[in-house]
Structure 1
Amino acid sequence: MLRPVKLDVSGALTQEPQHLLECLTDFYSNLSDHRPLGIAVSGGSDSLGLLYGLAAIVPPHKLVALTVDHGLRPAAADEARWVKAQCRRLGIRHETLKWQSGQPVTGLQAAARAARYRLLVQASARLGLAAVVTAHTRDDQYETLAMRRARSASDDAPGLAGIPTATLFEERLWVLRPLLELTRETIREFLRSRGLAGWVEDPSNTDTRFERVRVRAQLEHHTPQQEGPDPAQIAMRRFQLASDAAALLDAACRVEGDGPVRVRFDATARMDVVTAALEALIDWQGGAARPLDRRGKATLASFLASTSGKANGSVMSLGRTLVRRQGAFLTVERERRDVARLMLPPGDCGVWDKRFEICNRSKASPLYVSGASAGVLPCFTRNQREYSTQFHRDDGVIGGFTCRPLLGRSSRILPVDQLPLAQTLARLARGRPLPRCPWGESHGIAALTAIKVQRQTPV
């Protein structure tokens, strides 16, 4: 649904609220990658403010606006065309990305969000973008924290770090969020100062079937409290713990030829660091889609406590992995169960066992993948009735296919505060190096986690 628009692009810079422009100027000046920047623009007030703010300080040829049409509403196509018209007036290239897949019966918002980022990843690779910027605001942060706090049993749960300032998607696209310090009303005041009196209003933003809408309505009737953990402090602790766990793995971990990972058990190491390192190894070796739940964390803590001081013998099954105590070492390997087979038609790609991305480069014959090796590594053949055991991960390309190790959740969605640990996993897996975050290299990745949330949502 479109609200009436009055546009004046001749407004003087001095007439604009300076907070948004100062925020974006600081952001853009700290980018280390100078390729064009993508802007996710739905046409709502937040993303429109981001578009006009960046247009005021960045040359038009350095910006590409991307609008995702999820196909969920008849008006979506008209809204995308309206955004395109705004971009044309600003001299900024615009593309509409369409979600073509069928809609799920349940979990529609989550599926739409996943599709949105998948389309942005693809567009970014095709257009050669440095990153994509989104317009998440302080209001979005409060809503997210309120929803996560309602589900959390701990004041130090990872989710209470809130929306990260930067996230790496599918090991390829950095999504940056420079407006997390600003309120929605600040952005709307900026738009009004530019002569823009309207924007797209998405009806789903008032549909109480969705949890975020209900939480937003509750927050409008409550004064935010100063109680509860500081999200910035939680993010900083997560960053430091990830750095310490990465250092432990760099110093004490090696990968066996057939897949298992061995890490020297240091009884003097901090237990939270050892736990974080093992959780990362379990996540990687098991191909996790989600972090360990409370029960899984309790199982791991109990195992570590029971093996302390023991020489051998303890074995634990967790997250599709087996963890064993062998002398001074702990080993982590994929548990031999539920190992699927995969058939890739000519020219097709797929994920095998949630741990390897495989592409069949042949134009003529299918590729069959199984887990017949001792370490549950992929084995390949062109003959469905045979197995090939000649694959080695460091060979890269054999017989017209490629195989790339994945890093569990880190290969899908990686918050910037977990980057040090994921970089270490990539080295251990002999995978491709993770791209550096283009925002923050000049003043330290840790600074990205320090966005201050000055008020807290009520429990």
Structure 2
Amino acid sequence: MKLDVSGALTQEPQHLLECLTDFYSNLSDHRPLGIAVSGGSDSLGLLYGLAAIVPPHKLVALTVDHGLRPAAADEARWVKAQCRRLGIRHETLKWQSGQPVTGLQAAARAARYRLLVQASARLGLAAVVTAHTRDDQYETLAMRRARSASDDAPGLAGIPTATLFEERLWVLRPLLELTRETIREFLRSRGLAGWVEDPSNTDTRFERVRVRAQLEHHTPQQEGPDPAQIAMRRFQLASDAAALLDAACRVEGDGPVRVRFDATARMDVVTAALEALIDWQGGAARPLDRRGKATLASFLASTSGKANGSVMSLGRTLVRRQGAFLTVERERRDVARLMLPPGDCGVWDKRFEICNRSKASPLYVSGASAGVLPCFTRNQREYSTQFHRDDGVIGGFTCRPLLGRSSRILPVDQLPLAQTLARLARGRPLPRCPWGESHGIAALTAIKVQRQTPV
């Protein structure tokens, strides 16, 4: 270890290889790895670091061209040349859809991961590795703390070491222990002094750029909650909530989800379990906000010790107290129709992914008589809603249940609870994290990022 010009401790360049060697030795899936490479110093260091320890045929470099700058195509070709030098396959993934006027960075990030998911499935990759660093973690925590009213908010767990996207792609981040300067020192030690500098990294219109500039004048020394400890607490709570649902929850046909209410259970576990059920049944894209969480807490407090009659509307669901049970189901309102052209796929009511396998006729999807499950119509013929599985084709289409946010973006610390939701929904099991048998969770304790000085 040594001091940089700001007085902060940095790692020696060889620490990058040690970190990646440990990471690769703990992978349980031995298919090729994808590497997200933009050409910046972080991703270039990841590329050259993995190339030093992994056979070239086990690596595929993926560069996303968002089409936002004229120079992006040239940068992708430059990355391709670096990969050719290393004997590594390279593909450029292009964002073809129109770019939004506002929220550009968020939209570009979502498009990037969507393209990586598609490429991973097509190429048969074990996972995609990204080059997020300790500096990225600091910036993320600083932005989230500025918005958080609690020192134990979920977002303060920081960037996860592993995230599952769209139930298909694990994105792994083995460099969260390393600083950006460590990676650049590694590149210089290999005679690589040049890399792509994205102009957006200095564009102060973006919050992250402003935060990065402010953090350059501070060192991470203020006491505060350790993000790794928050992540581990979230994992333990998710595990406890999953155990509660496994023991006390059931789905009766097409009826509501029922959970036996145990007044002796820990209230934080009951709350976490119910939030997950609301998330699933309501098709949530975001977690309950502060007001939603307060509403749920008030409902649980008011129903403890009571019998029937209590009902609450929250997150597009109805939650009721019925004897010894709490029930959760989709509200019977605002259920839209969906028309899928031949060969097209779509999401109905934010809760079901449906694919029209016919090459000739469209498929119409609407709410059944109860309004909470899909009803399928083709050529004036109606198909039963008793499907609940996606391992076969019914009437020329497939339909599988989604799990709310867990089907879109799932941090590794929430995997136990999401697996239980998948079982209750009678959907396909979620893929296990390939970072070793349990290393994706164990790695949470290895990322020791102290709290930043407020900016």
CA drift of 1:259 comes to: 3.9
- Residue 206 of structure 1: how far off its partner (Å): 0.2
Residues 369, 379 of structure 1: 8 Å contact kept: yes
Measured in 2, the distance between the counterparts of 1:104 and 1:168 equals 25
Distance 2:210 2:167 in 1: 33
After superposition, what is the alpha-carbon deviation per residue over 1:355-400, rounded to whole angstroms, capped at 9, x for unaligned?
0000000111111111124261111110469675565557843111
Asked whether the equivalents of residues 322 and 332 of structure 1 are also in contact (C-alpha less than 8 Å), the reply is: yes
- Which has the higher mean CA deviation after the structures are superposed, 215-224 or 82-91? 215-224
Q: Map Cα deviations across residues 334-364 of structure 1 (whole Å, 9 max, x no partner).
A: 0011100101111110000000000000111
Q: 1: distance between equivalents of 2:170 and 2:125?
A: 10
Q: Secondary structure at the match of 1:375?
A: coil
What's the secondary structure of 2:361's corresponding residue?
coil
CA contact (8 A) 2:4 2:10 kept: no
Identify which range, 227-236 or 243-252, moves more after superposition.
227-236
What are the within-5 Å matches in structure 2 for residues 274-423 of structure 1?
Answer: 274-374=270-370, 376-383=372-379, 391=387, 393=389, 396-423=392-419
Distance 1:340 1:186, change over 3 A: same
Equivalence map 1:180-259=2 (5 Å) = 180-259=176-255
For the 8 Å contact 1:49–1:190, the answer to whether it is kept is yes
Give the stretch that moved more between structures: 23-32 or 389-398: 389-398
1-side partners of 2:69 and 2:88: how far apart? 26
Give the direction of change, closer, same or farther, for the CA distance of 1:328–1:368 in structure 2 (3 Å limit): same
Aligned residue pair count: 455
| Distance (whole Å) between structure 2 residues aligned to residue 148 and residue 97 of structure 1 | 30
Q: Encode CA deviations 1:112-151: one digit per residue, 9 max, x unaligned.
A: 0000000000000000000000000000000000000000
Q: Please identify, of 375-384 and 113-122, the stretch whose mean Cα deviation from structure 2 is larger.
A: 375-384
Give the aligned CA root-mean-square deviation in angstroms: 4.2
> Residues 6 and 116 (structure 1 numbering): CA distance in 2 closer, same or farther, change over 3 Å?
farther
Distance in 2, matches of 1:217 and 1:8, equals 17
State which drifts further: 386-395 or 344-353.
386-395
TM-score when scaled to structure 1? Answer: 0.94
- For residues 234-259 of structure 1, give each alpha carbon's deviation from its aligned partner in whole angstroms, at most 9, with x where no partner exists: 00000000000000000000012114
SS at 1:312 equivalent: coil
Q: Aligned pair in 2 of structure 1 residues 288, 205: CA closer, same or farther (>3 Å)?
A: same
How far does residue 229 in structure 1 lie from its aligned partner after superposition?
1.3
Change (3 A) 1:197 1:331: same
Q: Is the partner of 2:270 in helix, strand or coil?
A: helix
Tell me what 1:82 maps to.
78
Q: Residues 218, 338 of structure 1: CA spacing in aligned structure 2 closer, same or farther, 3 A cutoff?
A: same
CA-CA distance at 1:12 after TM superposition: 28
Shift of 1:444: 6.8
Q: Is the 8 A contact 2:390 2:399 kept in 1?
A: no
C-alpha deviation, 1:178, in angstroms: 0.2
Q: 1:12 to 1:458 in 2, by over 3 A?
A: closer
CA distance in 1, matches of 2:69, 2:82: 21
Bigger Cα displacement from structure 2, 299-308 vs 222-231: 222-231
After superposition, the Cα gap between the structure-2 partners of 1:14 and 1:454, relative to the gap in structure 1 and judged at 3 Å, is: closer
- Say if 1:263 and 1:294 are closer, same or farther in 2 by CA, change over 3 A: same
Which position in structure 2 is the counterpart of 1:24? 20
> d(CA) in 2 for partners of 1:75 and 1:336?
50
Structure 2, unaligned runs of 5 or more = none
TM-aligned CA deviation for residue 10 of structure 1: 32
1:211-239 Cα deviation digits (max 9, x unpaired): 00000011012233322211011000000
Distance 2:188 2:2 in 1: 9
In structure 2, the CA distance between the partners of 1:44 and 1:410, relative to structure 1 (3 Å rule), is same
2:111 to 92, 112, 115: 115
The answer on whether the counterparts of 2:412 and 2:440 sit within 8 Å (CA) in structure 1 is no
CA distance in 1, matches of 2:317, 2:68: 40
* Structure 1 Cα separation of the partners of residues 443 and 118 of structure 2: 28
Instruction: From the superposition, tell whether residues 126 and 327 of structure 1 become closer, same or farther in structure 2 (CA, over 3 Å).
Output: same
Cα 1:387–1:400, aligned 2, differ >3 Å: closer, same or farther?
Answer: closer
- Name the CA shift for 1:438/1:129 in 2 (closer, same or farther; >3 Å): same
Aligned residue for 1:397, secondary structure, equals coil
Q: Specify whether residues 82 and 328 from structure 1 end up closer, same or farther in structure 2 by C-alpha distance, changes over 3 A only.
A: same
Change in Cα spacing, 1:394 to 1:16, as seen in structure 2 (3 Å) is closer
Query: TM-score scaled by structure 2?
Result: 0.95
Q: Deviations over 1:175-196 (max 9, x none)?
A: 0000000000000000000000
Distance (whole Å) between structure 1 residues aligned to residue 320 and residue 204 of structure 2: 48
- Which residue number in structure 2 is paired with residue 439 of structure 1? 435
Query: Alpha-carbon deviation of 1:446?
Result: 3.8
Aligned to 2:137: 141
SS at match of 1:386: strand
- Deviations 1:271-327 (CA, angstroms, capped at 9, x unpaired): 000000000000000000000000000000000000000111000000000000000
> Would you say the 8 A contact 1:417–1:449 is kept in 2?
no
Distance in 2 between residues matched to 1:347 and 1:300, nearest whole Å: 41
Q: Give 1:7 shift.
A: 27
- SS of 2:192's partner is coil
Q: Per the alignment, do residues 10 and 18 of structure 1 end up closer, same or farther by CA in structure 2, a change over 3 Å counting?
A: farther
User: Distance between the aligned counterparts of 1:357 and 1:94, measured in 2?
Assistant: 31
2:358 aligns to what SS in structure 1? coil
Structure 1 contact 67–80 (Cα < 8 Å) conserved: yes
Instruction: List alignment gaps of at least 5 residues for structure 1.
Output: none
Q: Which moved more, 1:255-264 or 1:122-131?
A: 255-264
Pairwise CA distance, 1:447: 3.6
Q: Which moved more, 1:383-392 or 1:398-407?
A: 383-392
Distance in 2, Cα, partners of 1:70 & 1:444 = 29
Q: CA deviation at 1:13?
A: 23
Shift of 1:260: 1.1
Between the aligned partners of 1:277 and 1:450, the Cα distance in structure 2 is 27
Contact 1:379 1:391 survives alignment (8 Å): no
Point out the more displaced range, 391-400 or 298-307.
Answer: 391-400
- Residues 426-454 of structure 1, C-alpha deviations (whole Å, 9 max, x = no match): 00001111000000315573444542114
The residue correspondences of 1:66-77 to structure 2 (distance < 5 A) are 66-77=62-73
- Structure 1 pair 18–394 and aligned structure 2 pair: CA distance change class (3 A): closer
CA contact (8 A) 1:236 1:450 kept: no
Distance 2:290 2:39 in 1: 40
Q: Is the 8 A contact 2:358 2:396 kept in 1?
A: yes
Cα separation, 1, equivalents of 2:209 and 2:24: 32
Q: Which runs of 4+ in 1 moved over 4 A?
A: 5-16, 384-396
Cα displacement string for residues 52-71 of structure 1 (whole angstroms, at most 9, x for unaligned residues): 00000000000000000000
Cα 1:389–1:229 change in 2 (3 A) is closer
Give the distance between the partners of 1:336 and 1:429, measured in 2 at CA: 19
Report deviation, 1:9: 29
SS at 1:101 equivalent: coil
Relative to 1, partners in 2 of residues 1:71 and 1:362: Cα closer, same or farther, differing over 3 Å?
Answer: same
Contact 2:10 2:182 in 1 (8 A): no
